């Protein structure tokens, strides 16, 4: 119980520090409505947000609605998203997802995690990205950065993304779930990088299990 309280205090301090260090902590994917964020998030699997934003700049002009994707020619859609990698699987997921949205939700993006994860190509991570960043409904997003950073800091010992999500939900205030996720994503990209974290310049080093053990 004491450890839980200590972790909650640590999280509050981390949020305070990183919020000052990372003023542009919003999600990097560009979108103007919930369904565009859905498409962009599916495309972001195994692809950088920079590349996704380059592709969606033209993609969102060509496909204006959920129905446009649902009725698209699959081969043409594959070509339109090819630079994001794994384009065949992604095109299939996008088309099937949008067909289900038209069929079951009248072309609208549902606002609950339970409904979102029933859509093809949508897991808990994607669902929480949409809920938090398009609808303002708090959600913990465990992508590769949040996975790595939360382990290094010492906020979880789990390796399964869903278990990590549940661990973080216990120690982060609900209203901060989306904010905290976005902060860890940016911190993971800029400082707590995968191969060699830049601990010497990390603003939360003293609050991190990994960084506090580093010399210097």
Residues annotated as catalytic (active site), given as ranges:
125, 143
Residue pair 59/40 in contact by the 8 Å Cβ criterion: no
Is the sign of the CA dihedral 110, 114, 116, 118 positive or negative?
negative
How far, in Å, CA of 86 to CA of 205, rounded?
Answer: 37
Selection from 60, 185, 123, 74 nearest residue 52 by Cα: 60
Residue pair 113/131 in contact by the 8 Å Cβ criterion: yes
Q: How many Cα atoms occupy the beta-carbon half-sphere of 50 within 13 Å?
A: 1
Structure tokens at 146: 């949040």
Q: What are phi and psi of 206, to 5 degrees?
A: -70, -15
């Amino acid at each position: 119980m004491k450890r839980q309280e200590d972790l909650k205090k640590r999280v509050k301090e981390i949020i305070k520090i990183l919020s000052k260090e990372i003023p542009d902590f919003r999600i990097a994917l560009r979108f103007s409505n919930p369904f565009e964020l859905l498409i962009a998030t599916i495309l972001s699997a195994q692809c950088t947000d920079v590349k996704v934003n380059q592709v969606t700049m033209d993609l969102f002009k060509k496909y204006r609605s959920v129905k446009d994707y649902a009725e698209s020619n699959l081969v043409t859609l594959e070509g339109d998203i090819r630079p994001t990698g794994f384009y065949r699987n992604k095109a299939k997921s996008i088309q099937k997802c949008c067909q289900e949205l038209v069929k079951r939700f009248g072309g609208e993006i549902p606002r609950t995690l339970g409904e979102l994860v029933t859509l093809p190509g949508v897991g808990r991570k994607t669902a929480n990205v949409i809920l938090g960043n398009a609808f303002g409904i708090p959600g913990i997003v465990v992508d590769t950065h949040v996975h790595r950073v939360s382990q290094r800091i010492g906020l979880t010992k789990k390796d399964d993304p869903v278990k990590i999500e549940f661990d973080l939900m216990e120690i982060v205030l609900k209203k901060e779930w989306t904010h905290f996720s976005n902060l860890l994503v940016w911190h993971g990209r800029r400082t707590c990088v995968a191969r060699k974290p830049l601990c010497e310049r990390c603003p939360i080093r003293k609050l991190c299990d990994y960084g506090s053990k580093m010399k210097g």
